[in-house]
Structure 1
Amino acid sequence: MPAKPLPLLAGRGAPENPPPVRTGSLAREADGDWLDAAANIDGAPPRLRTTVTIEHPKTIIARNTSPDIGFDRSINPYRGCEHGCIYCFARPTHAFHDLSPGLDFESRLFAKPDAAKLLRRELASRNYKVAPLAIGTNTDGYQPIERDWGITRSVIEVLAEARHPLLITTKSDRLLRDIDLLAQMAKDELVGVAISVTTLDAALARTLEPRAPHPQRRLAAIRALVDAGIPTQVNISPIIPAITDHEIEAIMAAAAGAGAIRASYILMRLPFEVAPLFRAWLAAHYPDRADKVMHMVQDIRGGRDNDPNFFSRMKGRGIWPQLIRQRVKRAARAHGMDRSFPAIRTDLFRPPERGGQMELF
């Protein structure tokens, strides 16, 4: 008989903390009798505290050669993400630290305080060739710990000084703290921002992405950014069948009302350990439709939980993705959000001074 599920932790997305299956760690399964006794004696489990470990990488710019991604370099100021989005495709990266992609990913975080110094050094290299650099494509650069660490801002300060093109994706209005830098870069056509809005339903958002800002705060961030002259689009990501797909038109209408100039979307991806975590989340929050949701996911992904192949991993296959694409296009036309995103300039780049001082040679 399978063990009972662990009690859900308030403010966390993952219902469990499975071991990183690719590192040989032993799996641990809670005994049902123990769970009954623990609940009777101890009551509800305590809140899970977030811890931050300082990391000292040798380089900060990550490169990729993926043909279906519109950038070839990015910066991740943090590892792990306290937003706790259950669908996050970056969760498996915690396995490389022998940590769980479950609760560990959203509570045992890593910060890179040397990021700006490393970036300055890499941009100053004579071999560096400029191209747009992305922040927020793996874990969110504006997750809650950015409030105290300020690593993302320090990185943007270097990019602004060097007039380096920048792309930001986030689901947090915390980036408004840096609107001074972003507005300055926007005047030179050096920056573009995408605000992710998964749902307008606050109750759903609390379980789906528990520590991300309220959807209305994200819409307000779109308005503030656009009013400051910063090109901003809404990213409906991810679209989850039978959970959020019915909100596509409502999200686009709300984003258009906030001033978003364009809309994009991504269908939910469930790579590696994300699939069983999402299944556990469905069982905890939507047991009535769990089978239906996963049937639709597998229909989109060629009979599997996930399709890792380039291009199809983003768009999916079959009738359902085609219908989603048509709905997005129709809504974009109706709200004037079907135009191209403004081009980001790369010709203004000037290598920064190393360590803030002029190079002698």
Structure 2
Amino acid sequence: MAGGNRTDPPKGRGATSNPEGRFESVTHEPVDDGWGDKDPAPPSLRTEVAVDAARSAITWNDSPDLPFDRSVNPYRGCEHGCVYCYARPTHAYWDLSPGLDFESRLLVKPEAARLLEEELAAPDYRCAPMALGTNTDPYQPIEKKYGITRALLETLERTSHPVSVVTKSTLVERDLDVLAPMAARNLATVTVSLTTFNRELSRRMEPRAAAPNRRLRIIKNLTSAGIPVGVLVAPVIPVLTDGELERILEACAEAGAGSAGYVLLRLPHEVEGLFREWLATHYPQKADHVMSRLEEARGGAANDPEFGSRMTGTGAYAELIGRRFNLACQRLRLSGHDNALETGLFTPPPPPSGTQMSLF
């Protein structure tokens, strides 16, 4: 069960508390017992890792907002700790908190590569670009120890299956020896997520992700290796980061990015409360302005789940962001993200041992 709320944000973490998930039957509420502290400071928060005994690797979707219909996520939860992460509510399904639990109580899928190979071997499987890291970052810190993302890439390379990777981690550079040969056959692209160049803001908002300027070097290094790289300006946060939109695109284009996309801040389910709490803790004087501008672009709410508008918002403010983005991309010759990768080279792996092989 998730722990109770914390009064002081733990060092090196994004969320400032650990609220119960929406499916839990028991909640905790701090009470002033006269000792002058409603909730004493907890000990240092350490990352815990457990095994996710998943029975499949590929997640399918039919969302019209996404340029892919299949993805693989090797980890649940993300140690990067981005306070705005739209994936935080998924932790509630495990009776864990979308708050600090999401970034400190992680689940790994050690059998992901084997499961993926079995699914690619299925007789009815049809090849299309696989997205890697759509829910949580496939190159978050624990990947250095577990290597599940690396194993997935090796499976995709071995079968000549196209893949698109999204990350904000320098660890992606470790796998240049796999990604570069795939890219040479038009089988791989990488998108680097970048939110702000304000180092203080980035450290508070996405505390364990790569520093903003280091992400520019990721783009340069991958581009130099022949890998097509795009930038995802995400999320665009009203008041806090929206003024940097053109600067981010310019810097990424100069670093070698060839495509770009953006997403307006989304605050589904528990993320709204976590983000409001984070604002009140770190930017109390701007909190009301940030939320009022966001609500203006989200139909009066903090989140809009509707297809067609959930990524970019609606209304005058959202339209202005869209126009600024499009004009900057035209000027910088940045194309939109697409998955025009090669699918004709795909060679299915042999069926798992014990499976009857086809006669033809």
Q: Which residue of 1 aligns with 2:31?
A: 31
Kindly report which structure 2 residues correspond to 1:84-123, keeping only aligned pairs within 5 A, or say none.
Answer: 84-123=81-120
Structure 1 residues 186-201: aligned runs within 5 Å? 186-201=183-198
Distance 1:35 1:134 in 2: 52
Find the aligned partners of 2:166 and 2:35 in 1 and give their Cα distance. Answer: 40
- Give the letter for the 1:317 counterpart: T
State yes or no: 1:229 paired with 2:226: yes
Structure 1 residues 15-164: aligned runs within 5 Å: 15-21=16-22, 23-33=23-33, 36-37=36-37, 45-164=42-161
- TM superposition shift of 1:25: 2.7
Instruction: Count residues with an aligned counterpart.
Output: 355
- 1:60 to 1:330, Cα distance in 2 relative to 1, 3 A: same
Which digits, 9 at most, give the CA deviation of each residue in 1:72-106, with x for residues without a partner? Answer: 11001000000000110000000000110000000
Over the aligned positions, Cα root-mean-square deviation in angstroms equals 2.1
Give me the whole-angstrom Cα distance separating, in 2, the residues matched to 1:245 and 1:167.
26
Instruction: Provide the rounded CA distance (Å) in 1 between the counterparts of 2:336 and 2:125.
Output: 32
- Taking a change above 3 Å as real, the CA distance of residues 357 and 211 of structure 1, as seen in their structure-2 partners, is farther
Amino acid at match of 2:261: S
Deviation at residue 212 of structure 1 after TM alignment: 0.5
Change (3 A) 1:358 1:89: same
Q: How does the TM-score come out when normalised to structure 1?
A: 0.94
- Could you state the TM-score of these two structures normalised by the residue count of structure 2? 0.94
Instruction: Give the distance between the partners of 1:35 and 1:140, measured in 2 at CA.
Output: 41
Aligned to 1:288: 285
> Quick one: distance in 1 between partners of 2:68 and 2:357?
33
Residue 35 of structure 1: how far off its partner (Å): 7.3
- Distance in 2 between residues matched to 1:86 and 1:201, nearest whole Å: 16
Pair 1:30–1:126, CA change in 2 (3 A) = same
Question: Which position in structure 2 is the counterpart of 1:333?
Answer: 330
Q: Are 2:5 and 2:29, in contact at CA under 8 Å, matched by a contact in 1?
A: no
Deviation at 1:342, TM superposition (A): 7.1
Per-residue deviation at 1:243? 0.7
The question of 1:6 aligning with 2:7 is answered: yes
Q: Which residue of 1 aligns with 2:242?
A: 245
Match of 1:343 among 316, 337, 340: 340
Change in 2 beyond 3 A, CA 1:4/1:15: closer
Structure 1 ranges of 4+ moved more than 4 A: 339-342, 354-361
In 1, distance between residues paired with 2:34 and 2:227? 54
Q: Structure 2: which amino acid aligns with 1:15?
A: T
Identify if the C-alpha distance between structure 1 residues 128 and 342 changes in structure 2 by more than 3 Å, giving closer, same or farther: closer
Give the whole-Å Cα distance in 2 for the aligned partners of 1:232 and 1:74.
18
**Amino acid in structure 2 at the alignment position of 1:10:** K
Aligned residues of 2:129 and 2:164 also touching (Cα < 8 A): yes
Alignment pair present for 1:181 and 2:181: no
Q: Does 1:202 align with 2:199?
A: yes
| CA–CA distance in structure 2, aligned partners of residues 29 and 192 of structure 1 | 46
Letter in 2 for 1:211: R
Residues 155, 33 of structure 1: alpha-carbon distance in 2 compared, 3 angstrom cutoff: same
Instruction: State the identity as a percent.
Output: 49
| Unpaired segments ≥5 residues, structure 1 | none
5+ unaligned residues in a row in structure 2: which ranges? none
Residue identity matched to 2:30: A
Higher fraction of helix: 1
Q: CA deviation at 1:354?
A: 4.5
Q: Pick the aligned partner of 1:271 from 264, 268, 286.
A: 268
User: Which whole-Å CA distance do the structure 2 matches of 1:108 and 1:294 have between them?
Assistant: 29
Task: Provide, for residues 14-37 of structure 1, a one-character-per-residue CA deviation record: whole Å limited to 9, x for no partner.
Answer: 01100012x133221222457734
Partner amino acid, structure 2, of 1:59? S
Contact 2:238/2:290, CA 8 A, preserved across alignment = yes
> What is the identity, as a one-letter code, of the residue corresponding to 1:60?
A
